[in-house]
Homo-oligomer: A and B are copies of this chain.
Amino acid sequence: MGELGRPAYLRLADLLRSRILSGEHQPGGRMPSIADLCRQHGLSEQPVRQALRVLNAEGLTEGRPGSGTYVRRRPAPARIPRGRYDAAGSPFAGASRDPGPGGVPHWTHDSQKTWATGALALRLRIAEGDPIMQTQYVFLAADRPAQLSTSWEPLALTGGTAAARPEYGPLAGLGVVERMARIGLTVTRVTEDVTARPVLEAESGPLDVALGSTVLSIERTHWAGSLPVETADIVLAAERSRLVYEIGVPAEITPESDVLR
């Protein structure tokens, strides 16, 4: 019954969206119930539900079981500084700088020894099957899961030293650069490869995001010259994150003579 080309649930979604954006439905306010919308627009449950699902997926509304559908208040995404290397650099140095309201940020971790598989071996430039230390982090800010991270370090470098387990012993919580420095490895640069992709099912629970939504994925590697000493996968909810990179401009590029003007 394509009355007007555009399907019923999309027309309803358009209508409700424009009402929300125009302020007719205030942030935090309740939308009409599904039954109400059925009556008001002469539709059955299914198209009404689909319309609401569209708005939920767009992040405009949020359904609370047993209560109603509410217009979302949109917190500005957290700024997560990632440029400039920071001496206090724990894995979450940047993000933990600002406690924000609702609680001091903290994290849990879990290290275990494993062996490098294909892709990982490539990233660390070691052979497949070489032993590595794997550490998983769940980072919480304001009592909400903010960031997942899995870090790998070749045990050929750290094995037998105090730096073998990132979060144990005298070097716990020091950050990769400092910890490596203590065992004689000078980290000279860090690379971060940023991509966005749909959230995996395994991540959607810990990150507290819906299954269809997208995450920012950072593939980070610490280098000592051309030798990778650590690499990590960092995953953040895209809706809540804004990565801030700062890029220095070498002085050579800026000539002292003003040619024009």
Q: Mark A residues whose CB is within 8 Å of B.
A: 54, 57-59, 77, 79, 82-85, 87, 89, 161-163, 177-178, 181-184, 186-198, 200-201, 211-212, 214-216, 238, 241-250, 252-255, 258-261
| A216 and B200 alpha carbons, distance in the complex (Å) | 18
Q: Which residues of B contact A243 (CB under 8 A)?
A: 193-195
- Stoichiometry, as copies per complex, reads 2
Q: In the complex, how many angstroms separate the beta carbon of A6 from the nearest chain B beta carbon?
A: 11
| A198 and B77 alpha carbons, distance in the complex (Å) | 15
| A232 and B174 alpha carbons, distance in the complex (Å) | 36
B189 touches A248 (CB 8 A): yes
A245 touches B192 (CB 8 A): yes
Partner of A189, one of B178, B212, B247, B252: B247
Q: Which residues of B contact A248 (CB under 8 A)?
A: 85, 188-189, 248
Name A10's closest neighbour in chain B (CB-CB).
Answer: B201
B242 touches A245 (CB 8 A): no
Given known contacts A161-B260, A189-B248, A253-B181, A242 and B85 CB-to-CB distance under 8 angstroms: no
